[in-house]
Amino acid sequence: MNSLIELDDIKKIYPTGDTAVYALNGVSLNVGNGEFVAIVGQSGSGKSTLMNILGCLDTPTQGSYYLNGEAVATMDDRRLSEIRNRQIGFIFQGYNLIPGLDAIENVELPLLYRGIPRNQRRQMSKAALERVGLKTRMHHRPAQMSGGQQQRVAIARAIAARPPLILADEPTGNLDSRSGMEILNILRGLHQEGKTVILITHDNDIAASSDRIIRIHDGQIVADTSRETCAAPRGAKNIRAKSESASSFEKNPQDTLAFIGAKLSGVR
């Protein structure tokens, strides 16, 4: 299996007062195309820090990160934006939906700023919302939906443009077990389509539904266990886009949302 993600000796050190915080302390990790990986650890163990680095939202203090063979440290802002907008679907714990927009408008927003024509983006957004079981909630605003439904809108927004890599930070953290299972089923379905899914959780039961469990403790990987079934499914896609036109990445709301997410998790 070719490596989509290669991290080598990644450290993230925050200088705070007298003592430095080692949020990540020497993380080395390879993830292949089409894998479904859970990253599990207690609160404060470094999961969100790792996700923000994986999602090119934050840079490590030390160590190297190759994404599909390309050194992330050498990417300029435009390339980073391009990767975040086109290659990665972010699902944040806090949903990050825009309150004044209804479900379909929330899902459409990143597509709008990518310059996708109206009809096409409506159709893509509808398909994504149907995919997550929200056909009858397309015109509801976030405040008119349950937590699980809002999380599903956030998933629809992440998958509408069909990015090959999905990063989900505690996507079931705020949900009851039934809604959590629905979210997990959606993630499993995405994996079966060939997407690479990285699921961050503190919950061992949630992690058990993945093919590979990576345990993180105090900024270090302490276990990495695979099941036999973790081979990439047929049709697994390569993250590199076939063609990438440079259209107003600075204004892309998905990028903005990703940035907000990073802000919310306090790493930027």
Ligand X SMILES: Nc1ncnc2c1ncn2[C@@H]1O[C@H](COP(=O)(O)OP(=O)(O)OP(=O)(O)O)[C@@H](O)[C@H]1O
List of residues contacting Mg ion (CB under 5 A): 47-48
Residue 25's binding partner among Mg ion, ligand X, none (Cβ under 5 to 8 angstroms by kind) is none
Output DSSP code: residue 249. G
The only residue of 19, 43, 119, 229 in contact with ligand X, by rule CB under 6 A: 43
Minimum distance, C-beta of residue 260 to Mg ion, in the bound complex (Å) = 15
Minimum distance, C-beta of residue 16 to ligand X, in the bound complex (Å) = 5
Residue 44's binding partner among Mg ion, ligand X, none (Cβ under 5 to 8 angstroms by kind) is ligand X
- What is the identity of the amino acid at 255? D
Q: Greatest CA separation found in the chain?
A: 56
Residues between 196 and 255 with contacts to ligand X, criterion CB under 6 A: 202
Minimum distance, C-beta of residue 48 to ligand X, in the bound complex (Å) = 3
State the binding string over 45-74 for ligand X (x if CB under 6 A, else -). Answer: xxxxx-------------------------
The only residue of 27, 33, 38, 41 in contact with ligand X, by rule CB under 6 A: 41
172: contact with ligand X by CB under 6 A: no
Residue 157's binding partner among Mg ion, ligand X, none (Cβ under 5 to 8 angstroms by kind) is none
Summarize as ranges the residues that interact with ligand X (CB under 6 A): 14, 16, 21, 23, 41, 43-49, 202, 265-267
